[in-house]
Structure 1
């Protein structure tokens, strides 16, 4: 990790309201001579727009005082959207009980209910359908390193 990115993460961490809030990702993209600094934060019990605004203001002020960002930049502080892949244990824990779609490193795709998060991976209840038989649910343990991308499935029930 670059020193600049690490310094920015430390600044963000310092300005989060409490230990229930956490950093999901810090990224920098250069486009047309301008850098976009994108900071994704989340919270164990949900995130509101006011928290994003407060963190943005505090981080922006500190970046200016420390003169960390060279040249012009755009600062974006937001929560990961519904279609943003889960990243890290805390995001998985926050979504226990929800339906997930997991793309494995093998290319296989699984859809099931997240039932537990462990140190090395997750447990899910996956529907198993055999021809001519009623669908059953099977508990599957998936190590984090075998999961390429995990998206929460939106339910309108």
Structure 2
């Protein structure tokens, strides 16, 4: 089993005990060995104090695990705004928010991916549905299938 898999198995029960779910585990093996555990919550944001508590508990488990003898700097974090949505729970949590979708295998003349922006109206196994505003008119777009979506980002409102 891989180191990442072992860390996921150790971290998942701890993360879930605080009411969160595990999104990802990333290892940065160069320079300072870092382990990034990315967590989220189905309804609310990620609490910094909870990240600290989860980090301490997972660090103790990692220290005791024989296949994780290399020391890692452990970081527990929320997905942040720069990370694309990846888990169905993230899409459901962000219904009603403005999103930016990058489409697969499509690019503009400058090489940038073609994007669609709008309010996430619905999420299903088949795809996403957006409401876009043109001037003072709102229009619901047809379903955008997951098969043509490269990335989906929440667009922050400031």
Asked if these proteins are the same fold (TM beyond 0.5), I'd say yes
Q: Do the aligned partners of 1:128 and 1:138 also contact (CA within 8 Å) in 2?
A: no
Q: Tell me by how many angstroms 1:83 deviates.
A: 2.1
Alignment correspondent of 2:146: 144
Alignment correspondent of 1:66: 65
Q: Tell me by how many angstroms 1:17 deviates.
A: 4.2
State the secondary structure of the residue aligned to 1:82. Answer: coil
RMSD: 2.0
Alignment correspondent of 2:82: 83
Alignment correspondent of 1:13: 12
Q: Do the aligned partners of 2:63 and 2:69 also contact (CA within 8 Å) in 1?
A: no
Q: Tell me by how many angstroms 1:138 deviates.
A: 2.7
Mind listing any 5+ residue stretches in structure 2 that lack a counterpart? 107-112
Distance 1:20 1:116, change over 3 A: farther
**TM-score with structure 1 length normalisation?**
0.85
Alignment correspondent of 2:29: 30
Aligned length: 150
State the alpha-carbon separation in 2 of the partners of residues 102 and 47 from structure 1. 23
Q: Tell me by how many angstroms 1:128 deviates.
A: 5.2
> Which range is displaced more, 15-24 or 40-49?
15-24
State the secondary structure of the residue aligned to 1:56. Answer: helix
Q: Do the aligned partners of 2:27 and 2:35 also contact (CA within 8 Å) in 1?
A: yes
**Alpha-carbon deviations, 1:5-49, whole Å to 9, x = none?**
1221111111024484111111111112x3211110000122211
State the alpha-carbon separation in 1 of the partners of residues 126 and 53 from structure 2. 34
Mind listing any 5+ residue stretches in structure 1 that lack a counterpart? none
Q: Tell me by how many angstroms 1:135 deviates.
A: 4.6
State the alpha-carbon separation in 2 of the partners of residues 90 and 60 from structure 1. 26
Q: Tell me by how many angstroms 1:144 deviates.
A: 2.2
Confirm whether residue 40 of structure 1 aligns to residue 38 of structure 2: yes
State the secondary structure of the residue aligned to 2:22. Answer: strand
Q: Do the aligned partners of 1:125 and 1:140 also contact (CA within 8 Å) in 2?
A: no
Q: Do the aligned partners of 1:126 and 1:140 also contact (CA within 8 Å) in 2?
A: no
